[in-house]
Amino acid sequence: MSTTTDLGGADKHRDNHQNEHQQHLPPTPEPVTGTPGHDGPTTASVASPPASPTVSLRASDGERAEVVERLHQALGSGCLDLAETDERVAAAYAARHRHELTALLADLPDTAATFTQAPAWTALWTLAVWRMLTFLNGGAPCARPTTRQLRAVALLSVLATAWFVACAVVGALVVGA
């Protein structure tokens, strides 16, 4: 019974590690041959080939900070809880490549779609008139107010405000005299 040690597994591991390391290095310029005026190969700067999809670009500190800011915004809006935000922030600061950062934001809504914007004044006015019509109708639901109803309520509001101001001025003159 003889025992043999398989060192091939260790060699394969070392080769895989070297291949991973070489994947993330920028390509070296290749020699240019046949350049007019030169007899031999040179290492002139050559346009590097486009990055292949297997090569991942390194993440910058600014990109990490942007991701952390988006994660904090997601925490503030209630998309993430505190524990998950802490995990993702730690992963963002530990990330070396851009694809690691995009994975941290993949399940979060886009920041451009915000639902916290205030409604327009016309929408507020319509809502106020609608509430008033519902109140006058005894609480029974009614249809959305028409443009004619909105204008009538606006006119009545202006007249009521003018009446209030006129009464206040007349009262001040009477008391002051």
Domain boundary among 42, 72, 105: 105
Verify that 132 and 171 share a domain, yes or no: yes
Number of domain units in the chain: 2
Q: What is the pLDDT of residues 65-86, one digit of tens each?
A: 999 999 998 888 888 999 999 9
Q: What is the pLDDT of residues 6-29, one digit of tens each?
A: 444 444 444 554 444 444 444 544
Residue 115 belongs to a domain: no
Verify that 166 and 137 share a domain, yes or no: yes
Verify that 88 and 130 share a domain, yes or no: no
Q: Are 80 and 89 in contact (CB under 8 A)?
A: no
Verify that 128 and 97 share a domain, yes or no: no
| Three-class SS state of 42 | strand
Q: What is the pLDDT of residues 118-142, one digit of tens each?
A: 778 888 888 888 888 888 888 887 8
Residue 47 belongs to a domain: no
pTM over 0.75: no
Verify that 93 and 133 share a domain, yes or no: no
Residue 95 belongs to a domain: yes
Verify that 138 and 167 share a domain, yes or no: yes
Residue 92 belongs to a domain: yes
Residue 170 belongs to a domain: yes
Verify that 167 and 128 share a domain, yes or no: yes
Which residue range forms the structural domain that includes residue 128?
A: 121-176
Describe the crossing of helices 98-105 and 82-94 by its angle, rounded to 10 degrees: 170
Considering only residues 42 and 137, tell me which one the structure prediction assigns the higher pLDDT.
Answer: 137
- Residue 34 zone, left/alpha/beta (φ > 0; ψ -120 to 50; rest): left
Q: What is the 3-state secondary structure (H, E, C) of 45-100?
A: CCCCCCCCCCCCCECCHHHHHHHHHHHHHHHHHCCCCHHHHHHHHHHHHHCCEHHH
Residue 27 belongs to a domain: no
Verify that 172 and 130 share a domain, yes or no: yes
As a whole number, mean pLDDT of residues 164-168 equals: 96
Residue 83 belongs to a domain: yes
